[in-house]
Amino acid sequence: MIIDCDANATYAPDERIRGVISSCLESLGNPSSLHRGGQRARAAIEEARASVRRLVDAEEKDVIVFTSGATEANNTVVAAVSSATGPIISASTEHPCILQPLKRLASHGRTVVLVSPQSDGLITSESVASAVTPDTALVSIMAANNETGVINPIAAIVAKVRAIAPRALIHTDAAQLLGKGALSMREMGVDLLTISAHKIGALSGVGALCIRDGVDIEPFILGGPQESKLRGGTENVLGISVFGAVADRIASELPARVESMRALRDLFEERLARAIPDVEFNSVHLDRLPNTSNVYVPGVRADDLIVAMDLERILISSGAACTSGKPEPSHVLLAMGQSEERTRATIRVSFRADLSQEGCVRVVNALTNAVTRMRRMKREG
Ligand code: PLP
């Protein structure tokens, strides 16, 4: 059996999704069609919208726009302020789907300020506030980091930003926090919030941008009038319907799910620290995602460890993003001031809630054996 400890990359759907998919197959018309086939699809989408709205605790009048994922939602946010003039404030630990569009705007002369994290990975409200000016157009800070799991103080950030720049749009990428902790758009007070379906056990290729009532943004994809005229193109009816069904399930299971994840993560860290005393867990003293452990294993290459674990049918990841066959060191860990060497020896283990304790112990044992073997080989040259 494969043990999937890479839930932050994608939280693969469990068996229960089969029933959901087969019932969704009944309603795959074009939601824009006037006939009953279209109306059934439209009803399925609106039901999913209500479920997603509940899961993110948005106000009734807030607009939930379904997109192709968090990447598109984040790009939409950046595009929405591309023709404004004020500075944009974000953080160097953001996901590339925020950083890359910002980089493009900066290359066209726009002022983009990336706030640095503390050495433990936290983006403080003070550091964001010190970068904001009254003419700031956009502040975008992620709710939880995909690599370290660090949860940023979004409500405090919003309060400070509003006091300095009342007209700034405030966005948070909550793709990783959704389904792993309490998430309330209402309480955060943001204008815009991004989520992704495949991070909670629904299908990839779907996400949403949640827009506070009264916030006016430009559409990113132009075409038909779908999604409140904010996202042209025939809706992904199956993906959206599954997203809604999984959102309902998560809403009812969240406390138990979070507790299971936390128990697994704590067991893992406690046992691994005993087995390999020189490992270091990043960001442990902070509020962080209950399922995420970011571990520095001195003297070992993370990529080798991933392959060794894969041979044991255990899936983990490194902080490195592999593009064009050449793994780059994690920009998140580098931003935290860590050396390139350390980032290359750091792995991310991100648990699913349904892993058993025995499975978790198997992960610790396999890691311990692989690290011991690699260190021996290194010593013996
Ligand atoms: N934002 C964060 C924080 C993520 O972790 C990811 C996925 O890795 C994304 C955005 C992109 O999500 P999607 O795959 O839905 O485009």
Q: How far is the CA of 350 from the centre of ligand 1 (A)?
A: 15
d(CA 82, CA 218): 10
Please name the helix (run of DSSP H) or strand (run of DSSP E) that holds residue 79, with its range, or none. helix 70-80
φ, ψ for residue 28, nearest 5 deg = -100, 35
- The answer to whether the CB of 176 is under 6 A from ligand 1 is yes
- What ligand 1 atom has the least distance to the C-alpha of 198? 15
Check residue 327 and give its pLDDT: 73
- Strands 346-350, 317-318: pairing kind: antiparallel
User: Whose CA is closest to atom 7 on ligand 1?
Assistant: 9
Check residue 325 and give its pLDDT: 56
Residues with catalytic function: 322
Alpha carbon separation from 131 to 90, 128, 144, 152, 210 (Å, rounded): 9, 5, 20, 16, 25
- The answer to whether the CB of 97 is under 6 A from ligand 1 is yes
Q: How far is the CA of 43 from the centre of ligand 1 (A)?
A: 27
Count Cα atoms within 13 angstroms, Cβ side, for 125. Answer: 14
Q: Is 78 helix (H, G, I), strand (E, B) or coil?
A: helix
- The answer to whether the CB of 95 is under 6 A from ligand 1 is yes
Check residue 319 and give its pLDDT: 65
DSSP assignment letter at 221: B
- The answer to whether the CB of 70 is under 6 A from ligand 1 is yes
Q: How far is the CA of 77 from the centre of ligand 1 (A)?
A: 14
Check residue 28 and give its pLDDT: 86
The parts of the chain modelled with pLDDT lower than 50 are 324
Could you write out the three-class secondary structure of 244-305?
HHHHHHHHHHHHHHHHHHHHHHHHHHHHHHHHCCCCEECCCCCCECCCEEEEECCCCCHHHH
- What ligand 1 atom has the least distance to the C-alpha of 197? 15
- The answer to whether the CB of 7 is under 6 A from ligand 1 is no
Kindly report whether the global pTM for this prediction surpasses the value 0.95.
yes
